[in-house]
With several copies, the nearest count.
Chain A
Amino acid sequence: MTQPAPAAEAAAHKTAPADGGSPWRATLARADVRTLSLLGVLAALILIGGVTQPDSFLDTDNLQLILTQASVIGVVTVGMTFVIISGGIDLSVGAIVALASVWATTVATQEYGFAGILFTAVVVGMGCGLVNGLLIAYGGMVPFIATLAMLASGRGLALQITDGKTQMVTVDGVLRLGERDSYVLGIPPLVLVFAAVTVVGWLLLNRTTFGRRSVAVGGNAEAARLAGIDVRRQRLYLYLLSGLCCGIAAFLLIVLAGSGQNTNGNLYELDAIAAAIIGGTLLSGGRGTIVGSVLGVLIFTTITNIFALNNLETATQQIAKGAIIVAAVLVQRRTANNH
């Protein structure tokens, strides 16, 4: 998909070097404009939340809640960001979360306790990622179609395994992780995992050859090939990474919900892609940031939270959500262009 108004994009680019001075500052400034505008949107939301619900919104409990709610989809979004940066897309994330969460909570798996659940979730996630990666990198399938097929099959398999039933977790260690006693310095473990995944994702993207190569494959696959990068293998790794993130997210969801269910992760694909794009990742590949994606997730989660605290009706919530997305993006564009 092409992005409209490349001119504006280019304009946003042009400015950076122009304000002269240290190029390091220029780079910073460039990143900043985008990130700042996202932070601005988030700040505006927090203001709205604080004004409409002064008691319940700016409460520690509520901040913990927002962050916890953001954790599961946040981890998925980190993986998705890599995939989109590399010029691909992964529609199967929700289905993979569902499959991993039910596979990891079968009676047989639960016998192996904490480790069994964690291990299964991660391995199932990576297994699905591997299939996606093989189909796309070596089978030459279009990512949209390959991962759509995985979506269908993954959900089917999850239903097959559960037979539609909710699988309760009986392993104490796992359950406890989702409860208040496990908070570390007031931070829920789920949030810690999310933070860790974010940091690792950031390092991976910005400080390692893996990250460079992902950007290169997305920005110009032919150039990457000519530079000696094994483009296919890189693509395979990227879907594997997305699968891994889904596996971790599935584990978090198991902890959060104390159960595994085949309806888990419903429409995560849309949420994760939307968060990444709002965060500044180009759907056509070649550019994106982890920080932006995470801010995108937080923006969406905060919106939902404010709606619920204000007891809005479902219909109003949906209508307002669309309007807020439009407003946020238009404001963001305006800020970015004015710099």
Chain B
Amino acid sequence: TSNEPKDEGSDDKEQQVADDKPGKKVTIGFAGPQADHGWLNAINDQAKKRAEKYSDVTLEATEGSNDTAAQIGQVETLINKKVDVLVVLPADGKALTQVGLKAMKAGIPVVNLDRVFATPQAYRCWIGGDNYGMGLSAGHYIGEKLKDKKNARVVELAGLDNLELTKQRSKGFDDALKNYSNIEKVARQAADFTVESGQSKMSQLLQAQKNFDALWNHDDDQGVGALRAIKQAGRDDFLMVGGAGALSAFQAIEADNSVLKATVLYPPTMAASAIDLARALGQSKGVSGMAEFEIPSFVTCYSAVVDKDNVDQYMSTGFK
């Protein structure tokens, strides 16, 4: 039940700050969902690259499952292996709460990445994106662009509907649109984060809605398919906003030759930050740039909107 950081080091008069210099050896266990998708793959890449950067970090990465029972097993495997710190990106946050608690009880601090556990007792530190905020950002961006247009029509291409995060994104989007009385959301269909489903669902949306002014697509991976469908239908009479921040989306925004005008970030770099946090936890140090001795317990990444004006700045973070 101890939520406290480990005793060692807390005696020190001055809290050390983790930096690039090698310190105490730390084994970090990493468990994520099945990396069969661009963003999730980027998460894995970011985590691994960051871990490789530190000579004092060993990464035990059990890779991927989307099945709750299977992922619980993988985290338990890591607990049994007695890693020093755990970084867990659950397929479903609430469903992995129990195992997070178990790890904490076993004295292994948990960095909960992105999909949040049901109780703060199950993690030492949470870092992740803001799905609701992502929807809000997208809604506000579109709202501002269309605010002068009468009876504006908006279409939403959502992600995998049986994930809670999809519902949060849609909720944020709807809430933002409420600020704009001239805008109506006329259709919403859910794809499943794959190019194939994006192409298929988008072509049907285009068929169903012969005219609309803006489209929000939750995910840039399925956006590849959606853009393809838009091209195939020969439509260019609306503006499209993407989600997540794939390199291909940034490039398209920069080139400005398609309907895609902006994308809302959901930065996979949070995985690298998670590794930093885990290392610091393992070495009982703080993080630089903050006055606090302790590592924060909650870090929410901002969902910035990237459009033609600021795309250069983000280009390097785009994932393939």
Contacts and interface: CB of A to CB of B under 8 A. Distances in A.
Interface of A: 53, 55-56, 59, 61-62, 65, 68-69, 72-73, 155, 158-159, 163-168, 175, 178-180, 253, 256-259, 261-267, 304-305, 308-315, 317
Contacts of B237: none
Contacts of B38: 164-166
Contacts of B228: 178, 256-259
Given A166-B93, A258-B231, A314-B34, 10 more contacts: A53-B208, A65-B204, A68-B73, A253-B69, A257-B96, A257-B196, A264-B68, A308-B189, A308-B201, A314-B36
Contact of B97 (A168, A253, A262, A315): A168
Using C-beta atoms within 8 Å of the partner chain, give the interface range for chain B: 35 or more
B69 A311 contact: no
A56 B81 contact: yes
A31 B200 CA distance: 33
Interface string B204-225: 1101101000000000010011
A257 B167 contact: no
B73 A164 contact: no
24 contacts: A55-B210, A56-B77, A61-B207, A65-B207, A69-B203, A72-B69, A159-B36, A164-B162, A166-B95, A166-B164, A175-B98, A178-B228, A180-B232, A257-B225, A258-B97, A259-B94, A264-B196, A266-B66, A305-B207, A311-B208, A312-B63, A313-B161, A314-B35, A317-B63
A313 B63 contact: yes
A167 B233 CA distance: 22
Given A168-B248, A266-B196, A314-B64, A309 B77 contact: yes
A309 B164 CA distance: 24
Contact of A259 (B64, B66, B188, B195): B195
Interface of B: 34-38, 40-41, 44, 60-64, 66-70, 72-74, 76-77, 80-81, 91-98, 102, 118, 161-164, 166-167, 187-190, 192-196, 199-201, 203-205, 207-208, 210, 221, 224-225, 228, 231-234, 248, 320
Nearest to B64: A314
A263 B204 contact: no
A265 B183 CA distance: 36
Nearest to A257: B95
A178 B35 contact: no
A306 B196 CA distance: 19
Given A263-B162, A314-B35, A257 B80 contact: no
B194 A163 contact: no
Contacts of A167: 94
A56 B29 CA distance: 14
B294 to A, nearest CB: 28
B311 to A, nearest CB: 18
Given A258-B97, A262-B162, A309-B207, A165 B72 contact: no
A329 to B, nearest CB: 23
Contacts of B189: 308, 311
Contacts of B81: 56, 309
Q: Which 3 A-B pairs have CB atoms at the shortest separation, nearest pair first?
A: A164-B41, A308-B204, A166-B94
Nearest to B36: A263
B234 A266 contact: no
Contacts of B190: 314
A261 B63 contact: no
Contacts of B41: 163-165
B62 A311 contact: yes
Contact of A305 (B35, B72, B73, B234): B73
B162 A159 contact: yes
